[in-house]
Amino acid sequence: SRGTPSGHQAVFPGMADESLDADAGDLVLVVHQEEHPVFRRQGDDLLMEATVSLEEVLSGFETRVVHLDGGEVLVQASAQEILQSVKKGVEQNRAGETEWDVVPNCDCPDIDAVAQADTDDTDALKRACGELKHRGYNIGVFVVQGRLAYFKEASREEVIANTVVRRGCTMYVLTQERRHRMRLCVKGDGMPTFADPSTRGDLFCLLTVKLPHGPVEQWLSLPRASQAARGQRRSKL
């Protein structure tokens, strides 16, 4: 039926092959869900992704998505919602919640460490990078080896050029692209629920906003953003 989850088994008793000395077995139908180029299923919810620049959405974000049933769904957010979310993300980054790429079984031993920590708690280590930044250290990578971690000043390019395979080590490299992620929700446009196909989950759009180079604060003033947005068309994907 509609909304059947992947892996669900439907059993049809006595519908399998028969034999002379045994009753017919059961026919078991297992549902396997195919991948979709746009949507990912998460329970009764559907997830999709979109990437835009901050300049493109200064007048708001709007896109029409062709749903699984062929109908169109409108996903949108106002410029104020987007800019407030970006501003909150920038403030979190100042607190050390920067994004890092995880590279297992690798190290950059030719780059000297500027600090060391006796922990493998990645959340604590990420916060420590923010604290080191306040002291004047621009940490571009930290390496966890066992219960120890090493902080290193380097650009992403320098880290890549000096990366070697080293089992037991994990590198956390500062992401190259400045970006902010936010989640937009369209209520009731997800998958039909298995228990009651007349009700639906929600559709979520994971929107990645690419931030401009240079001080992002210049884009975070709502009055200025509104003026800059005049005459711009809404973003279409």
The reported pLDDT for the residue numbered 96 is 46
Q: Kindly report the number of other CB atoms within 10 A of residue 39's CB atom.
A: 19
Tokens at 121, concatenated = 């708690």
Please check the confidence at residue 21 and state whether its pLDDT lies above 80.
no
Tokens at 165, concatenated = 């395979």
**Phi, psi (rounded to 5 degrees) for 229:** -80, -15
Query: Is there a contact between 130 and 96 (Cβ–Cβ < 8 Å)?
Result: yes
Q: Kindly report the number of other CB atoms within 10 A of residue 143's CB atom.
A: 24
Per CATH, the number for 100-174 is 3.50.4.10
Binned at pLDDT 50, 70 and 90, residue 66 comes out as: very high
CA 20, CA 154: separation in Å to the nearest integer?
A: 75
- Percentage of the chain with pLDDT > 90? 34
Please check the confidence at residue 236 and state whether its pLDDT lies above 70.
no
Q: Which of 178, 175, 167, 105 is nearest to 141 (CA)?
A: 175
- Tell me what the mean pLDDT of segment 71-82 comes to: 88
The reported pLDDT for the residue numbered 81 is 85
Identical fold at 43-94+181-211 and 100-174?
A: no
CB-based contacts of 145: which residues, under 8 Å, 6+ apart? 107, 168, 169, 170
Q: Which of 144, 120, 115, 118 is nearest to 130 (CA)?
A: 115
CA 137, CA 36: separation in Å to the nearest integer?
A: 44
Return the residue matching tokens 């998958």: 191
Tokens at 111, concatenated = 């780059």
CA angle 217/218/224 to nearest 5° reads 125
Binned at pLDDT 50, 70 and 90, residue 92 comes out as: low
Domain boundaries, the chain: 1-34, 43-94+181-211, 100-174
**Phi, psi (rounded to 5 degrees) for 226:** -65, -40
Secondary structure tally for the chain: helices H, strands E: 4, 13
* In this structure, CATH architecture of domain 43-94+181-211: Sandwich (2.60)
Point out the least confidently predicted range of 2-16, 86-100, 149-163: 86-100
CA 219, CA 225: separation in Å to the nearest integer?
A: 6
Please check the confidence at residue 216 and state whether its pLDDT lies above 80.
no
More confident residue, 62 or 21: 62
CA 201, CA 193: separation in Å to the nearest integer?
A: 7
